[in-house]
Structure 1
Amino acid sequence: MILSDIRQYLLQRGHASLSDIATHFDSNPDAVRGMLETWIRKGKVRKRLANSDCGSSCCQCDAAAVEIYEWIDAQKVASEHPLPLPTFCKH
């Protein structure tokens, strides 16, 4: 897995959870997070949470599943609306 692989994955999907990315590349979520931080610093990716409560107040959602990363299209900025909740979240 290299930075361009993550770029291509996010470009194809628009956004993905940390756990989805880590599973796709058969990698540790912390290693993926570190690579995503490089794209964030370059202004190409932004980190979002599926819901501000998930992963913090209910403590039932896997933090890697609600940690969403999205590619920022230089020509069209993604909307500021929250991404849909993971299907397993009861909130």
Structure 2
Amino acid sequence: MLLEIRKLLQDRGRVSLMDLSLHFGRDTDAMRGMVAHWVGKGVVRQIDPEACACAGCGKCAAALGAEVYEWIGPAPKDRPA
């Protein structure tokens, strides 16, 4: 599942913890632990939800207290950076 999480983050760029939880059908604590693996590797970081809302205002993610993660590692080898 760690590789699937990595691919989703690479494909989307930014993903909330809730989206990860819903996508993989796991509780948020389990997903947080799996994302922590990639954070520890230095290819994912948690970002301020106010900086990344869907419409750019940041109000919806911030109001929900969302945890948002962003892929910062290298681009996948099968596509250009």
TM-based fold match above 0.5:
yes
Q: Distance in 1 between matches of 2:38 and 2:73?
A: 13
Q: Distance in 2 between matches of 1:61 and 1:30?
A: 20
Q: Which structure 2 residue ranges, 5 or more long, are not aligned?
A: 52-61, 76-81
Match of 1:55 in 2: none
SS at match of 1:69: strand
Match of 1:45 in 2: 44
Match of 1:10 in 2: 9
**Percent same amino acid at aligned positions?**
40
Would you identify which runs of 4 or more consecutive aligned residues in structure 1 move more than 2 Å? 60-63
How far the C-alpha of 1:50 sits from its partner, in A, is 1.0
Q: Which has the higher helix share?
A: 2
| TM-score, length-scaled by structure 2 | 0.71
May I ask how many residue pairs the two structures share in their alignment?
65
Match of 2:71 in 1: 71
After superposition, the C-alpha distances for 1:13-35 in whole angstroms (9 at most, x for unaligned) are 00110000110001100000001
Match of 1:31 in 2: 30
Q: Distance in 2 between matches of 1:71 and 1:41?
A: 12
CA RMSD of superposed structures (Å): 1.8
